[in-house]
Each structure stands twice: as C-alpha cells, then as structure tokens.
Amino acid sequence: MCIDSRPGRTLGLLLAAGLVCSFVGCNPMSAFLMNRTGLAYYESGDYTAATKEFQRAVADHPNNPDYIYNLASAVRKQGQIAKAEQFYRQALEIDPGHQPSYHGLARLMVDSGRGVAAAELLGTWATAEVWRPEPHIELAWLARESGNTAGAERHLLNALRASPSHPVVTAHLGQLYQDSGQSDRATAMYQRSLFSDWYQPEVRSRLASLREQGVGIGQPTTTLAANPNPSFTTPVYNTVTQPTALLAPQPTAL
C-alpha cells in the first residue's frame, strides 16, 4: 500500500476542486437548507418565493434531480407549463429513473390534453427498466385516470411481479380493490403493505375502515404487529397519498 506523501499535489487538487465549485456550484448543505425553505414557502402557497429558493438550491447543487423536480412543481403552480416541462425533463436527464419527475411530467401532459404522449413516456420507461416496479405504478395511475380499472390492475400486478413485497404496490392494489368493492382482497393487500412498511397512516386508516365494516374479522392480524419498532422509512414519494408531493432529501455529507 502506497501513501502519497506529496502535500503540494494534494493541495493543488483541493484548490482546483474549489475553483470548479465556485463556477458550477458545490454546496450541498446550503442547497439542502434552501430547498427546505422552498418547501415551507410552497406549502404556505407562496409559489413565487418557493421558486426563488428552489432556484438557489439548484444553483448550489445542479445535479440533484429532487431540487429540479421541486422547482418544476413550483413554476407549474404559477402557470409556467413549458418551463415546468423543461425542468422535469432536465431532472430526468440527470436521473433517468426519477419517479417524481416522470409522474410530474405525465401529470402535466394529461392536464394539457396529451394523454397519449404521457402513456408513451411511461411505457418507454417501463421498457427501459423492466426490473423496477415504479414505471408500472405510474402506468397504473395513468390507467385509473382514464377510468381503466382493469388496466390499472394489470400494471400493478406487473409491478408486484417485479417487487413482491413493495408496500406502495400492495397499497395501490388494496385501494383499487376497495374502490371496486372487493373488500376481502383489499384487506389482504393492505395487511401485506403494512407488513413491509408499518408507518403508512393512510393505509392503516383504510384498513381500520374496512375492519369497522366487519371485513377481515377473524383473519390473522399478526402482520400488523410484525414490526413493533418501525424505522419510519416511508418513501419520500408515494402516489397513493401524495400525488404532488415535493421532495426533501437528506443533506449530502460534506
């Protein structure tokens, strides 16, 4: 094992990195704080102020797709549709598998009367990343948007094959079955979802509602106590409960 004992070379590399950061923006902690401030403005309905904070976050950490997604969401709230689409696509260039940006862009397309383009967008993603459940989750959402319940179920079952224990997939299936009057199947899927991720208040509420109706009484309930000390690691993006959620990722270590 060799240790580089040339401090001058190391110092030169650090100085060069500092110069690069001064030009392109390399301040993850500052970007994180500005993103948090932007979230607060967004949630209070001040989308102009939120946009400014998200712009600053992106300037300091330009390769973070979460910040770009948040910026897209804020400008869309102000009616800047073309600019929002540009930012969603920018985020996808950085992270081709960024689910929030796919959802945001597809939602924008549907709202703009481009449902076919939205289906093509998500279908291409599903073909490119066949091992992931997320594209199928989004395709299921799109199918439900158009009233195609059978298509939504088909896409969710495809997602389940890709990830049999994915809590969002099983929660979606539970919601679909509940909405179509298949209460026993909904209960089973909600239990399965909570087994994988206990801390899902919306799913727990739906399951409790079914139990109040007498559904699933007498069935084993051990799945609900499978994790007495949950880690509270719900996905930052969940199309079941937060279809337009902004993202607040953890700060990058310096």
Assess if residue 39 is contained within a domain: yes
Assess if residue 161 is contained within a domain: no
Residue 186 pLDDT class (50, 70, 90 cuts): very high
Specify the pLDDT at position 65: 97
- Domain containing 72 equals 29-95
What gap in Å lies between CA 127 and CA 230, rounded to an integer?
34
Assess if residue 37 is contained within a domain: yes
Residue 26 pLDDT class (50, 70, 90 cuts): low
Give the model confidence (pLDDT) of 232-254 as tens digits: 222 334 333 333 445 554 433 32
DSSP string, 130-181: TT-SHHHHHHHHHHHHTT-HHHHHHHHHHHHHH-TT-HHHHHHHHHHHHHTT
CATH code of 34's domain: 1.25.40.10
Assess if residue 90 is contained within a domain: yes
Specify the pLDDT at position 155: 97
Specify the pLDDT at position 250: 41
Q: How many independent structural domains does the chain possess?
A: 1
Do residues 74 and 43 lie in contact, with contact meaning Cβ atoms separated by under 8 Å? no
Assess if residue 36 is contained within a domain: yes
Assess if residue 157 is contained within a domain: no
Give the model confidence (pLDDT) of 196-227 as tens digits: 999 999 999 999 999 998 776 545 433 322 22
Assess if residue 1 is contained within a domain: no
Assess if residue 166 is contained within a domain: no
State the pTM of this model. 0.76
pLDDT of 182 above 90: yes
Average pLDDT over residues 42-47: 96
